[in-house]
Amino acid sequence: MISKLVVGDGVATDPKIWRSLTKGRRPFLLSEPLVFKLYGRKVAEGAPLHLFATGEEAKSWASVQKAVGAMLSKGAGRDSVVVALGGGALTDAAGFAAAIYLRGIPWITVPTTLLGQLDSGIGGKTAVNLPEGKNLVGAFHQPEAVVCDPTLLRGLPERERLSGLAEALKIALTFDPPMWKRLRAEWMDLDLSWVIKKAAGWKLKIVGEDERELTGRRELLNFGHTLGHALESAAGYGALRHGEAVIWGLRAALNLSGNFPGRDEADRFLSKLAVPLPPGLSAKDLVERTKRDKKARGGKVRFVLLKGVGKPVVRPVAEKDILRAAEALLEN
């Protein structure tokens, strides 16, 4: 099932929109203290509520167990619809609770970070972390609707904004040359509703073609993420925002893609956005980490590369080439 996408200033607090989305069912709000204080009362007025912990702490077995316990004691039923209001961590955890409560009840996401609105709040991947690693337990559970309201992003720090925009740059480079052109031209004064509609629209389309990551289509969303993830974990989680690592990962993937018209120009644009890397990173260590990536198959690491802007291909890449790209990344 493809989620309905609702984008616009004020949509998250518009009672008319909520009436049309909940269709007479009872909303149950799952959020976290920081975001709830800012927007909670306006989003699902009067709905029963459970608050997860803020940030990554929400994504644990224990916290999901607490949430489903609260849903039970507050009377959530099959006629309820979970409304998940928060950043990517909150929607991952709340979505997992919705996926397993009474074997799954419907849910609607209201992402409150830019990353959430154009990426992590969309696509139905829900998860919690284990001590052994991130996102190791979860379920595919498509939200009925994704409600993206740019006015909820006003208080976000600049760093979060750039981190989210990295995913929009990824989408544009992978699928959409005109979007790529406009993003660069209007970079200093972007219309966020437009960016969200475009990027979220692409993600929904690709996810709709391959909901459970079986055909390879969804893999294309990983452009820039193989070395990006390696860098994010090598830096120590929290040192780099996800999107900050992805910008470096995009540059490395462009490097591995070989030359095509517009490639160097793309790299120059990204180089201006790339934040300095923490000291002490090693290229060899980055290569080892790409091998542990979920996408590694039969020992070879598969990369999404570009034949041109909007022309993605998936290719196994030899270790020596990954090393070369990792070295180039660290020299920059």
Ligand X SMILES: NC(=O)c1ccc[n+]([C@@H]2O[C@H](COP(=O)([O-])OP(=O)(O)OC[C@H]3O[C@@H](n4cnc5c(N)ncnc54)[C@H](O)[C@@H]3O)[C@@H](O)[C@H]2O)c1
Q: Which residues make up the interface to ligand X (CB under 6 A)?
A: 32, 34-35, 38, 54-56, 59, 86-90, 92, 112-113, 115-116, 119-120, 123, 125, 134-135, 152-153, 155-156, 242
Tell me which of 213, 288, 319, 327 is the catalytic residue. Answer: 213
Q: Which two tokens stand for residue 11?
A: 């949509």
Tell me which of 59, 222, 251, 255 is the catalytic residue. Answer: 222
Active-site residue flag, 229: yes
Q: What Rg do the C-alpha atoms of the chain give, in angstroms?
A: 20
Q: Between 14 and 56, name the residue whose CB sits nearer to ligand X.
A: 56
Q: Between 27 and 116, name the residue whose CB sits nearer to ligand X.
A: 116
Minimum distance from residue 234 beta carbon to ligand X (Å): 17
| Cα–Cα dist 154/229, whole Å | 28
Minimum distance from residue 13 beta carbon to ligand X (Å): 13
β-pair type (311-317, 301-308): antiparallel
Which residues, 6+ apart, have CB-to-CB distance to 47 below 8 Å?
26, 27, 28, 29, 83
Q: Between 55 and 177, name the residue whose CB sits nearer to ligand X.
A: 55
Sign of CA dihedral 302, 236, 166, 195: positive
Q: Between 49 and 255, name the residue whose CB sits nearer to ligand X.
A: 49
Contact 32, 51 (CB under 8 A): yes
| Cα–Cα dist 30/308, whole Å | 42
Tell me which of 59, 141, 198, 218 is the catalytic residue. Answer: 218
Q: Which two tokens stand for residue 311?
A: 């022309």
Q: Between 84 and 309, name the residue whose CB sits nearer to ligand X.
A: 84
Minimum distance from residue 243 beta carbon to ligand X (Å): 8
Active-site residue flag, 167: yes
Q: Which two tokens stand for residue 105?
A: 């009840």
Tell me which of 50, 198, 229, 241 is the catalytic residue. Answer: 229
How far lies 50's CA from each of 7, 31, 36, 86, in Å? 25, 7, 10, 12
Minimum distance from residue 40 beta carbon to ligand X (Å): 11
Tell me which of 50, 241, 242, 289 is the catalytic residue. Answer: 242
- Nearest Cα to 32, choosing from 149, 113, 102? 113
Tell me which of 59, 141, 170, 203 is the catalytic residue. Answer: 203
Minimum distance from residue 64 beta carbon to ligand X (Å): 13
Minimum distance from residue 154 beta carbon to ligand X (Å): 8
Active-site residue flag, 203: yes
Active-site residue flag, 225: yes
Active-site residue flag, 222: yes
Q: Which residues of 38-56 are buried (b: 16+ CB within 10 A; e: fewer)?
A: bbbeebbeebbbbbbbbeb
How far lies 329's CA from each of 160, 164, 204, 282, 324, in Å? 22, 21, 31, 10, 9
Q: Which two tokens stand for residue 296?
A: 């590694």
Active-site residue flag, 242: yes
Q: Between 240 and 322, name the residue whose CB sits nearer to ligand X.
A: 240
Active site residues per annotation = 103, 125, 167, 203, 213, 218, 222, 225, 229, 242
